[in-house]
């Protein structure tokens, strides 16, 4: 997308330059302080074009609901968060400021909103303004305080929303994280994620139940009340919290997530230890066990021949989010990574690292289950240990940089195509 010659111009003035790009150009109407001028584009100025989608441009229009509604002008983008807060408060909005990872140049400035930038709404009075944030706000973004009783308060993971978005390598390989529920699209309390794109099924190819929703999280399943906590206030000393070996627990400002809580497999399906047993690599629920092995029911079927055999840990999808200002050098020095990259990533942009099994000689191991305890997965951080070293090590060629898209053109009215 041309860096100059588009924003602030009329469609007629910018048309020759836009048409010269050789891709479709679609024109939309957006709420703006400068009616008749191009006020927003996708891709952003200076960003590479997506030849399949073309160019989207937003033409400013006056408030559609001057008497009964409010507009969110696109000019809020990149405005200082405190100035934007005052501006929208003066317009009658009840404003919330919420941090969102951004590149360094947008830190402390508005990078999005809900209702969206450039949209006009009849009667809306609440608005969330998202401002650019770095690693210093990681814990604030992922956790919240939870009050269980007057004697127990925790700080625990409450959302995975900061992962949501499109992240791409410089060669065009992309990851797309979306909220696990469409109801949670703009909620900071969304606690589930869906992965789309070419790597969505990498670790599920041989899964017998790929229709099962495979979730992401930061900790292994546990019945521990404080399983997702990074701090516990109850007057007692906690020497072993389930999350103690995760990145969020530390102070690097980074976060790691992995698929299905590190659960083991029975054959080619995830082993649900609460609804049955694995017998010689085949999962059998308790109805199956009662039907097939009635003579062993007296001891809850744990004496069935072949029970707890054929259970494996598989190297599943595992990602590390590295915001601007994260202590990546410190993490590298700790031995977290396997080897070292050749070219340092651009630390002025947030990015995600994707673990790739091709860098390992072994991506599956047999579980040595003792008394049904299967929490010692070496491929993920557990309460007992950190995960095995991560590969590939961060390099400018393999990291997935955040694609910053402040404007949602699906919410705008299409005007025409050039």
Output the DSSP codes for 37-82.
SEEEEESPTTSPP-TTT-EEEEEEE--S-TTTEEE--GGGTTSBHH
Predicted local confidence at residue 271, as pLDDT: 85
Q: Which residue has 């055999």 as its token pair? A: 309
Cα angle for residues 347, 351, 354 (degrees, 5° grid): 130
Sheet holding 152-157, edge to edge: 143-149, 152-157, 229-233
Which among 12, 103, 102 has a CA at the least distance from the CA of 57? 12
- Which regions in the chain score pLDDT beneath 50? 184-185, 211-212
DSSP state of 307: B
Token pair listed for 338: 């396997």
Rounded distance between C-alpha atoms, residue 246 and residue 252, angstroms: 11
In this structure, the answer to whether residues 188 and 216 fall within a common structural domain is yes
Show Cβ contacts of residue 358 under 8 Å, excluding neighbours closer than 6 positions.
none
The answer to whether residue 287 sits within a structural domain is no
In this structure, the answer to whether residues 254 and 325 fall within a common structural domain is yes
Domain C-terminal end among 107, 133, 159: 133
Domains contained in the chain, number:
3
Phi, psi of 184 (to 5 degrees): -105, 15
Give a yes or no: residue 53 inside a domain: yes
Cα–Cα distance measured from residue 343 to residue 337, given in angstroms and rounded to the nearest whole number: 15
In a domain, 281, yes or no: no
Q: Which residues of 369-393 are buried (b: 16+ CB within 10 A; e: fewer)?
A: beeeebebbebbbbbeebbeebbbb
**Containing domain of residue 97, as a range?**
65-133
- Within 10 Å of residue 83's Cβ, how many Cβ atoms? 12
Q: What is the pLDDT of residue 69?
A: 58
d(CA 114, CA 408) in angstroms, rounded, equals 11
Does 316 lie in the same domain as 215?
yes
Residue 292 falls within a domain, yes or no?
Answer: no
Q: What does the alpha-carbon distance between residue 291 and residue 288 come to, in Å, rounded to a whole number?
A: 5
Query: What's the CATH code of the domain at 2?
Result: 3.30.10.20
Indicate if 194 and 87 belong to the same structural domain: no
- For the chain, helix, strand, coil in percent to 5 are 15, 30, 50
Domain match, 369 and 336 both: yes
Question: In this predicted model, what pLDDT tens digit does every residue of 304-330 receive, in sequence order?
Answer: 999 888 999 999 999 999 999 999 999
Non-local CB neighbours of 167 within 8 Å, separated by 6+ positions: 174, 175, 176, 177, 351, 352, 400, 401, 402, 403
Output b/e per residue, 306-318; b: 16+ Cβ within 10 A. ebbbbbbbbbbbb
CA dist list (Å): 97 to 121, 141, 384, 397:
19, 12, 38, 34
- Asked if the structure places residue 126 within a domain, the reply is yes
- The whole-number pLDDT of residue 3 equals 85
Q: 40: which strand partners?
A: 58
Nearest-angstrom CA–CA distance, 100 and 366: 40
Task: Tell me: do 172 and 128 sit in the same domain.
Answer: no
Same domain as 327, residue 241: yes
pLDDT at residue number 388: 96
Assess whether 113 and 101 both reside in one domain: yes
Q: How far apart are the first and last CA of the chain?
A: 16
Q: What is the pLDDT of residue 236?
A: 72
Asked which of 133, 155, 176 is the last residue of a domain, the reply is 133
Question: Scanning the structure block, which residue is given the tokens 């516990």?
Answer: 232
Instruction: Answer whether residue 277 is part of any domain.
Output: no
In a domain, 272, yes or no: no
The burial class, CB within 10 Å (0-12 / 13-18 / 19+), for 149 is exposed
Query: Which H helix or E strand runs over 318?
Result: strand 318-322
Rounded-to-integer distance, Cα 82 and Cα 3, Å: 27
> Based on the domain organization, do 185 and 127 belong to the same domain?
no
Q: 165 and 189, same structural domain?
A: yes
Is 258 found in the same domain as 397? yes
Q: Is residue 412 part of a domain?
A: no
Domain boundary among 43, 62, 81: 62
**Residues 325-368: tens digit of each pLDDT:** 999 999 999 999 999 999 999 999 999 999 999 999 999 998 87
Residues 157 and 236 in one domain: yes
Give the pLDDT score at 221.
66
């Amino acid at each position: 997308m041309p860096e100059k010659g588009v924003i602030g111009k009329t469609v007629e003035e910018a048309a020759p330059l836009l048409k010269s790009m050789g891709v479709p150009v679609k024109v939309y109407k957006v709420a703006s302080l400068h009616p008749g001028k191009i006020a927003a584009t996708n891709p952003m100025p200076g960003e590479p074009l997506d030849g399949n989608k073309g160019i989207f441009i937003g033409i400013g229009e006056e408030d559609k609901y001057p008497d009964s509604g409010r507009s969110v002008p696109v000019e809020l983008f990149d405005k200082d968060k405190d100035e934007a807060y005052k501006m929208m408060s003066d317009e009658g909005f009840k404003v919330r400021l919420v941090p969102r990872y951004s590149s360094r140049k947008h830190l402390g400035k508005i990078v999005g909103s809900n209702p969206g930038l450039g949209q006009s709404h009849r009667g809306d009075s609440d608005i969330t303004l998202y401002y650019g944030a770095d690693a210093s706000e990681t814990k604030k973004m992922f956790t919240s305080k939870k009050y269980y009783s007057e004697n127990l308060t925790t700080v625990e993971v409450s959302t995975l929303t900061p992962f949501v978005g499109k992240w791409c390598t410089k060669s065009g390989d992309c990851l797309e994280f979306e909220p696990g529920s469409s109801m949670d699209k703009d909620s900071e309390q969304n606690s589930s994620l869906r992965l789309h794109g070419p790597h969505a099924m990498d670790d599920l190819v041989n899964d017998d139940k790929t229709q099962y929703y495979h979730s992401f999280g930061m900790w292994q399943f546990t019945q521990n009340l404080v399983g997702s906590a990074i701090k516990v206030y109850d007057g007692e000393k906690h020497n072993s919290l389930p999350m103690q070996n995760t990145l969020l627990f530390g102070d690097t400002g980074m976060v790691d997530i992995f698929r299905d809580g590190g659960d083991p497999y029975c054959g080619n399906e995830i082993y649900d230890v609460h609804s049955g047993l694995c017998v010689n690599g085949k999962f059998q629920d308790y109805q199956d066990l009662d039907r097939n092995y009635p003579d062993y029911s007296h001891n809850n079927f744990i004496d069935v021949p072949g029970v707890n055999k054929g259970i494996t840990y598989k190297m599943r999808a595992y990602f590390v989010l590295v915001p601007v200002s994260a202590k990546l050098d410190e993490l590298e020095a700790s031995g977290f990574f396997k080897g070292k990259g050749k070219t340092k990533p651009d630390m002025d942009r947030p990015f995600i690292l994707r673990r790739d099994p091709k860098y390992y000689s072994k991506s599956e191991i047999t579980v040595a289950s003792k008394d049904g305890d299967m929490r010692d997965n070496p491929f993920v951080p557990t309460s007992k240990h950190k995960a095995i070293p991560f590969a590939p090590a961060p390099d400018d060629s393999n990291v997935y940089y955040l694609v910053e898209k402040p404007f949602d053109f699906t919410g705008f009215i299409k005007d025409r195509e050039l």
